[in-house]
Structure 1
Amino acid sequence: MNEIGYHGTCSKHKDSIESNGFDPAKCNYRADHWLGQGVYFFDDYEKALWWSATAALHNNDFGRVIFKATIEAPDEEVLDLDDNKQLDVFFTEVIQCIDEIEKDCSGNMPVFDDKNFCALFFDYYKQKKNIAVITRTFQKDYAGYTTRRNKKDKELQKKIMNITGLGFNERQICVSKKECIKSTKLIYNEEEEVI
C-alpha cells in the first residue's frame, strides 16, 4: 500500500502533530472505533474538511486543520475490507475466536456490547495477523458534506436509497503503526484564512 490520506482535526492538536507526527499508540482509546484503535484518514480531502468541522465543534470551536500524509505498508500488513476474500478471512477468524471464548466460558459467555464489539475484534485481528492498516468503504444515508435536505426530503432520499441500494460512500483508512505514516504535512489551517 502506498497512498495519500487526509486527516481532519481541530487546531489544538496542530502543534503536537507537527512536532511528533501521528502516533497511533498515543491516540485516545475509544471502545467504539469502527476499525479499531489507530489514526483515521480519509482518501478524500473534502471529507477530511467536513470531519475537521465536527472535531472543532467537539473541542470548544477550535479552528480546523487538515494534514496530508503518505501511508505506506507492505500488502501483507493491510486488511482491505472492500476485498471479499480478505473480508471472508476476517469473518472466519472472528467466528473462530468467538467459538474459543464460548468453549472457555462454561456457559458464562462475556457480554459484548454491539457498539464495542467491532473495535474489540479489529484490534484482536490486528495483533494476531500483524495488521498495520485497515481500509473500508462505508455506506451512509446522510453526511454533513452532502446537500442539506429538510426532514421530508431526507425521508424520501432514504426511501430511494432503500429501493436502489445506493448510499454515500466514505472510504476510511485506519493506521495502527506509526512507521506507516510518512511525510505528514499541514495543508489547511482555518486560523490562517483571511476574512
Structure 2
Amino acid sequence: MNTYILLDAFHGTDLSNAESIMKSGFKCRPNKHHWLGNGIYFYMDYSLAKWWTTNPSSKFGVKIKNPAIIKCKIYVKNDNLLDLRRLKDYTKFVEIYRNEFLPFLFCGELSSLSEDTIDTRTLRCTYCDYLNLKYNYKVIIGTFYLPTQPYMPTDYGKFFDTFNISYIESQICVFDSNTISSMELVSIDRR
C-alpha cells in the first residue's frame, strides 16, 4: 500500500514574483550550487521563509524589494519522497552515494578525479539531481546544521555546547511541481 504525505511548505520571494507564481506556477531556476538539486525550494518553517525575504542580500538572482511568502501544500507518494530526517531514508541516501553514484561518477575519463577535487556544493547538487532522475524522487527534504547560521544570534553556539541540543533546519526541494496541491499568498508580519 502506497501512502501519501502532506507537507506544509513556505516559499519566500519578492511580491512581484509571488504574483507571477500564483498565476503561472513555479519555475525552477537551475543552479549547480543548489542544496538538494535543481528544484523549487521551500522552508518547513514560516519564520525561515520570512527571514529569507527580509535578508538584504540577493538570493540566487532574486532581488527582494517587497517580501512575500507563498504557503503551499505538497502532496507526494511516500515512495517518491526522500526525507533525510528519517533514518531509513538517510541511510539509503548514503548507501546509494557510496555504492552507486561515486563509482559511476569516477569511472572512465573522470577516474583521475577524486571526491576531494570537486566542489562540494556542485557534487551535492549533482547527486540529488541523479536521485531524482534515477529513483524518481519528486521531493527531497534535507536537514542542515550549521552552528553559525545568520538567522541565529551569535551566542547560541554556547547553548549548544552546554546542552548538546541543536536547531536543525529543514528545506524541501520539489522536483515535480505537480506535487504542489495548493498555493496561498500570505502576508508578512513586518514587526
TM-score in same-fold range (> 0.5) = yes
Instruction: Tell me the residue number matched to 2:48.
Output: 47
How far off is 1:165 after superposition?
A: 3.1
In structure 2, the partner of 1:78 is 81
Aligned mates of 2:86, 2:162 — CA distance in 1: 25
Equivalent-residue separation in structure 1 for 2:135 and 2:14 (angstroms): 33
* Alpha carbons 2:71, 2:184 under 8 Å: kept: yes
User: What secondary structure sits across from 2:140 in the alignment?
Assistant: strand
Q: What does residue 2 of structure 1 align with?
A: 6
- TM-superposed CA distance for 1:45, in Å, is 1.3
Counterpart of 1:17 in structure 2 is 21
Note the C-alpha offset of 1:43.
1.6
Match of 2:167 in 1: 168
Aligned residues: 181
Q: In 2, distance between residues paired with 1:160 and 1:121?
A: 34
Using the TM superposition, name which of 75-84 and 136-145 deviates more: 136-145
| 1:162 Cα offset (Å) | 4.1
- Unaligned residue ranges in structure 2 (runs of 5+): none
- Could you tell me whether the CA contact under 8 Å between 2:14 and 2:63 is conserved in 1? no
The answer to whether the 8 Å contact 1:32/1:115 transfers is yes
Q: Which residue, 109, 117, 127 being the options, matches 1:121?
A: 127
Task: Tell me the residue number matched to 1:37.
Answer: 38
Structure 1 length-normalised TM: 0.81
- What is the percent sequence identity of the aligned residues? 27
State the TM-score, normalized to the length of structure 2.
0.82
Tell which deviates more after alignment, 56-65 or 13-22.
56-65
Deviation at 1:115, TM superposition (A): 2.3
CA distance in 2, matches of 1:184, 1:99: 40
1:3 and 1:70 in contact (8 A); partners too: yes
| Unaligned runs of at least 5 residues, structure 1 | none
Structure 1 counterpart of 2:126, one-letter code: L
Deviation string 1:22-59 (CA, Å, 9 cap, x unpaired) is 2xxx32211111111111111221111111113x6425
